[in-house]
Amino acid sequence: MTFRLRAVRALVLLAGFYLMGAVLLVAMAVLDWLLVTHLLSERAAWFEGAVLTVTVFLAAAIVRGVFASLRAGRLGPVPHAVAVTAQDQPELWEEIRAAALVTGERPPDEVYLVGDVNAGVAEQSRLLGLLPGRRRMLLGLPLLAGLTITQLRAVLTHEFGHYGNRDTRLGGITMRGRQAVLHTVEVFRRGGTWMHFSIGRLYAGYARMYLRASQSVARDQELAADQVAAQHAGRDATASALRTLPILDAAHAHYLKTYAAMGGPLDALPPVGEVHGGFRRLLAARTAEQLAGFSAGKRPPRPRPYDSHPSTAERIALIEALPPGDRTNGSTNEPAALTLLRDPDHVFAALEARTLPQEAALMRHMSWDDLVMARAVVDAEGWSQPLRLAVARALWSSARDAERAAPARRDATAEAAADPELPDLEEVMDAFDRGLLWTAIADRLPKSPQAARLTGPSARNFIRPRVFDGLAGMVHLRLIASGHATADIAWSGQPGLALPDAWERGMDDALDAAIADTPDTRPLRALLADNPGAANRDDESAAGMTSSRHV
């Protein structure tokens, strides 16, 4: 069956989706008329009232679904986006208009920049696109930061190609019809009453039939859009754009979690414009292999039923089978698509103002280095607190046992235990040297009920990483306060602290020795002795000094 015939079949089925509502309304009206005029006697008036009530509610549910389908193409507000006009960003608009032209489509009336790795075109169409309406394009700033200009050209052309003519306009209507059908079924699903659920099941069954019948048309539209993109932007640029999109998506998710949200525990934000704009720094610092590592090992998304998109591998294979054409291949040395924007720093700041919640206005902005340092202090304090508290309790318990024979002093000891003073690093190491780690301290560290039942080597191996983290946190606080640890934003790695070479080489081994089955703190003490001024600092005052300077 040709594409045109399949598109006509899909259009006929789409018309049936809407005619179904009219048929149901007429059928219920006829049923009510028959019940009232011919089938019921006066003694069955209560049954007549019940049937009329049910049919009225069912009719209301059907009418709601019909209106929902008519509203499927409406364009609502875009609160988390920045609108850009042709006067604001002429170079970007030029690329968008060129992509629309080669597909035979109208350019958008509105362009919005968003904070996602995304691109899309939406139209406020009437009669499922038979009558044109206002058109809007959404473009993700992370997409502009991660794609070259020719790769972006391919993405733009593909988006307009969804609704391109191909050999008949019915293909674009079919795509809009699929969106409207899915929207209508979703409205029924969220209806909340058994009437909506009952009618919704009927519509859902018909929708599955329509989606199944129109799936081949939708897939052909996707592949046709890829071909137009390859003709306009170049075969290799189009294929590389498809390969890059999942990598960008994974890298952006890592950036948001690791960098943009770094100040969450501090109620702090990166510099103005850097909540989204910092993603540029990560992309610039990482090699292609490092960026690819973000998505390496991840399974491709499982295909959804009736999904119009063929697999990415299939699309790339079909694109690479095309002739190369005369377009540039778009090398990786080509400028990023972000260079199409005028004053991108201002755009990132404007997007940040539109996307952050209202409470963000009360947060302070910090430089990246100060943010890394302040977060390092908070994390180190969090790691060390359970260990210091466990050591304090173990030392207090040891002192109490030694003073049982002195009742007058026992009350004073109990009073001090109500608010125990947390030990510093030297006191913790002294406790380890006294053999308290595995006899008194480990049991006082927080653990789950299942872990509390462990004994012997299993118990030690379970709690050892927590002791390691706690001791490492105290060391970090000591090195920060003495000036021997500095902030390292590490756009090409993991943000944290840059430690002196001696600590980078020997810290892990020294900590492992200190928390061994037979603790040996001598390597750790030797490292501390090699840092002038560090070994005599109190950790609590050190943390306070760091906080007052950076936070």
pLDDT tens sequence across 112-145:
999 999 998 887 766 555 566 788 999 999 999 9
Using alpha carbons, select from 232, 241, 231 the residue that is nearest to residue 322: 231
Closest CA to 142 of 100, 172, 113: 113
Q: Tell me if 244 is assigned to some domain.
A: yes
Residue 503 lies in a domain: yes
Q: What is the pLDDT of residue 276?
A: 96
Looking at residue 239, its amino acid is: A
Q: Residue 135 — left, alpha, or beta (φ > 0 → left; ψ -120 to 50 → alpha)?
A: beta
Q: Are 208 and 224 part of one and the same domain?
A: yes
The answer to the question of residue 13 being in a domain is: no
Say yes or no: 430 and 348 in one domain.
Answer: no
298, with CB counted inside 10 A (0-12, 13-18, 19+), is: exposed
Q: Do 319 and 171 reside in the same domain of the chain? A: yes
Same domain, residue pair 318 and 377 = no
For residues 221 and 171, is the Cβ–Cβ distance under 8 A?
Answer: yes
Same structural domain, 483 and 381: yes
Using pLDDT thresholds of 50, 70 and 90, give the confidence band for residue 412: very low
Please, what sign has the CA dihedral across residues 124, 126, 130, 131?
negative
For 167-215, give the DSSP string. Answer: T-THHHHHHHHHHHHHHHHHHHHTS-SHHHHHHHHHHHHHHHHHHHHHH
Whether residue 33 lies inside any domain: the answer is no
Q: What is the amino acid identity at position 200?
A: G
Whether residues 231 and 173 share a domain: the answer is yes
For the segment 419-463, what is each residue's pLDDT rounded down to a tens digit? 568 999 999 999 999 999 999 999 999 988 888 888 888 999 999
Q: Which domain holds residue 202?
A: 144-298+306-323+336-365
* Neighbouring residues of 396: CB distance < 8 A, sequence distance ≥ 6: 413, 416, 417, 420
Angstrom distance (rounded) from CA 233 to CA 26: 53
Give the Cα separation of 476 and 253 in Å (integer): 28
Tell me the pairing of strands 364-365 and 486-488: unpaired
| Among the ranges given (228-232, 372-376, 544-548), the one the predictor scored with the smallest mean pLDDT | 544-548
Check if the beta carbon of residue 130 is closer than 8 Å to that of residue 170: no
**pLDDT range class, residue 14, cuts 50, 70, 90:** low
For residue 124, give the H/E element and its range. Answer: strand 119-126
Residue 12 pLDDT > 90, yes or no? no
Residue 367 pLDDT grade (very low, low, confident, very high; cuts 50, 70, 90): very high
Provide the pLDDT for residue 23. 80
In a domain, 516, yes or no: yes
Residue 91 lies in a domain: no
With contact defined as beta carbons under 8 Å apart, do 89 and 113 qualify?
Answer: no
pLDDT of the residue at 332: 55
- Shared domain check, 312 and 374: no
Q: Are 266 and 386 members of one domain?
A: no
Same domain (yes/no): 188, 153: yes
Does residue 73 lie in a domain region? Answer: no
- Average pLDDT, integer, range 539-550: 35
In angstroms, what is the C-alpha Rg of the chain?
33
Position with higher pLDDT, 431 vs 196: 431
DSSP assignment string, 351-391: HHHHHS-GGGGGSEE--HHHHHHHHHHHHHHHHHHHHHHHH
pTM of the predicted structure, to 2 decimals: 0.78
Is 132 domain-assigned?
Answer: no
**Are 386 and 279 members of one domain?**
no
- Between CA 321 and CA 234 the distance in angstroms is 12
Examine the domain organization and report whether 204 and 165 are in the same domain. yes
Same domain membership, residue 261 and residue 354: yes
Q: How many domains does the chain have?
A: 2
Q: Which residues of 306-345 are buried (b: 16+ CB within 10 A; e: fewer)?
A: bebebeeeebbeebeeeeeeebeebeeebebbbebbeebe
Looking at every residue in the chain, the average pLDDT score rounds to 81
